[in-house]
Amino acid sequence: MTAVRTPAVFITGTDTGAGKTRISCALLLAAQRRSLRAVGMKPVASGSTWQAGALRNEDADLIHAHSSPPVPARALINPYTFEEPIAPQLAARHAGVEIELGRMQTCFQALADEASLVIVEGVGGWAVPFSDTMMQMHLVRALDVPVIMVVGIRLGCINHALLSARAIAADGCRLLGWIANRIDPETACSDEVIASIAGQLGVPLLAEVPHGLSVDRMAAIVDPALDPVLAGAVAGSS
Ligand SMILES: Nc1ncnc2c1ncn2[C@@H]1O[C@H](COP(=O)(O)OP(=O)(O)OP(=O)(O)O)[C@@H](O)[C@H]1O
Ligand SMILES: [Mg+2]
């Protein structure tokens, strides 16, 4: 028999600030416009503030706010929230917390069980350590989800995009495609930059997001990126 899993995708970026959160939220909105029950996840977040006795992270709040109602518990959406706005491995160490793969898998499965699509936002870029022995890619492999890379279009992004795509492949993960996000309107020759990356990457350019769009307007533009995610829902035999 063929097992059908809840479709899911991991959103990585060329770097911190590439636009992962905005694009994850736009994908959540786009999916809801397709009548899907879409929920987001931010497994690890650093840089948070105390509110009403709990640590709250802005990315996790945005993902929470753009997920389909009834929105899952924050503890499932964002199992690891650290106060310091630093690399997760350091933030976890300073907080005396060990980031555990099993806990993130359990939260992901609980979200997937109640949803028709899960969008998982990574932290920073691709090569992010969670501990001395665990990298972010171990989570992606454990969740067995494909990857979409958000390329923040700015000086240096060709190098970041090509290196990240190589690393994703070398880590045994599947890159479905990439999204060009025009985060910096001052980027010189941005059309040529996007064309250069498109010519080198060998995976589809799924969407090109103009500068300055609201998440609401981004949703229509990133909608085609849902197609390869939904097409990959058949997981194999059981
Ligand atoms: N297309 C765009 N046009 C203008 N501003 C944008 C665009 N995309 C993202 N931004 C802005 O860039 C900043 C970084 O975006 P975002 O938080 O989505 O990045 P990120 O990759 O999730 O960052 P982090 O590594 O902190 O998780 C935000 O202030 C966001 O509003
Ligand atoms: Mg983010």
The whole-number pLDDT of residue 141 equals: 98
The model's confidence at residue 135, banded by pLDDT at 50, 70 and 90, is: very high
Is 225 part of a structural domain of the chain? yes
Q: Structure tokens of 12?
A: 């990585």
Chain CA centroid to CA 198, Å: 20
DSSP character for 149? E
The model's confidence at residue 230, banded by pLDDT at 50, 70 and 90, is: very high
The model's confidence at residue 78, banded by pLDDT at 50, 70 and 90, is: very high
Instruction: State the Cα–Cα distance between residues 193 and 198, nearest whole angstrom.
Output: 9
Task: Among the bound ligands, name the one nearest to the CA of residue 47.
Answer: 1
Full-model pTM: 0.96
Indicate if ligand 1 lies below 6 Å from the C-beta of 183: yes
Is 238 part of a structural domain of the chain? no
Domain count for the chain, please give it.
Answer: 1
Indicate if ligand 1 lies below 6 Å from the C-beta of 72: no
Is 44 part of a structural domain of the chain? yes
Chain CA centroid to CA 26, Å: 11
Instruction: State the Cα–Cα distance between residues 27 and 67, nearest whole angstrom.
Output: 10
Instruction: State the Cα–Cα distance between residues 136 and 140, nearest whole angstrom.
Output: 7
For the segment 176-201, what is each residue's pLDDT rounded down to a tens digit?
Answer: 999 999 999 999 999 999 999 999 99
Q: Structure tokens of 22?
A: 């905005």
Indicate if ligand 1 lies below 6 Å from the C-beta of 124: yes
Q: Structure tokens of 173?
A: 């993960």
Which of 22, 80, 82 has most ligand 1 atoms within 8 Å of CB, for mutation?
Answer: 22
Is 236 part of a structural domain of the chain? no
pLDDT higher at 84 or 232: 84
Q: Please name which of 186, 179, 125 lies closest in space to residue 155, comparing C-alpha atoms.
A: 186
For the segment 35-50, what is each residue's pLDDT rounded down to a tens digit?
Answer: 999 999 999 999 999 9
What burial class does residue 212 get, using C-beta atoms within 10 Å of its C-beta: 0-12 exposed, 13-18 middle, 19+ buried? exposed
Chain CA centroid to CA 231, Å: 18
Indicate if ligand 1 lies below 6 Å from the C-beta of 209: yes
Told to judge if 20 belongs to the known catalytic residues of this protein, a careful annotator would answer: no
Across residues 151-175, what is the average pLDDT? 98
Per the structure, the complete domain to which residue 203 belongs is given by: 11-231
Indicate if ligand 1 lies below 6 Å from the C-beta of 16: yes
- Kindly tell me if the per-residue pLDDT of 236 is higher than 50: no
Instruction: State the Cα–Cα distance between residues 198 and 153, nearest whole angstrom.
Output: 12
CATH of the domain at 118: 3.40.50.300
Instruction: State the Cα–Cα distance between residues 79 and 82, nearest whole angstrom.
Output: 10
Residue 126 Cα, ligand 2 centroid: separation in angstroms?
A: 13
For the segment 104-115, what is each residue's pLDDT rounded down to a tens digit?
Answer: 999 999 999 999
Is 179 part of a structural domain of the chain? yes
Contact between residue 89 and residue 130 where contact means Cβ atoms under 8 Å apart: yes
Residue 189 Cα, ligand 2 centroid: separation in angstroms?
A: 26
Residue 172 Cα, ligand 1 centroid: separation in angstroms?
A: 27
Q: Structure tokens of 30?
A: 């786009």
Mean pLDDT of the chain: 95
The model's confidence at residue 235, banded by pLDDT at 50, 70 and 90, is: very low
Contact between residue 117 and residue 31 where contact means Cβ atoms under 8 Å apart: yes
Across residues 197-216, what is the average pLDDT? 98
Is 141 part of a structural domain of the chain? yes
The whole-number pLDDT of residue 232 equals: 80
Q: Structure tokens of 95?
A: 């907080």
Listed residues: CB within 5 A of ion ligand 2 = 20-21, 59
For the segment 86-110, what is each residue's pLDDT rounded down to a tens digit?
Answer: 999 999 999 999 999 999 999 999 9
- Give me the residue label for tokens 């590439």: 18
- Kindly tell me if the per-residue pLDDT of 238 is higher than 80: no
Residue 18 Cα, ligand 1 centroid: separation in angstroms?
A: 6
Is 6 part of a structural domain of the chain? no
- Kindly tell me if the per-residue pLDDT of 234 is higher than 80: no
The catalytic position among 42, 64, 160, 182 is 42
Which residue has its alpha carbon closest to ligand 1 atom 15? 19
The whole-number pLDDT of residue 2 equals: 55
The model's confidence at residue 1, banded by pLDDT at 50, 70 and 90, is: low
Indicate if ligand 1 lies below 6 Å from the C-beta of 20: yes
Which residue has its alpha carbon closest to ligand 1 atom 16? 19
Is 237 part of a structural domain of the chain? no
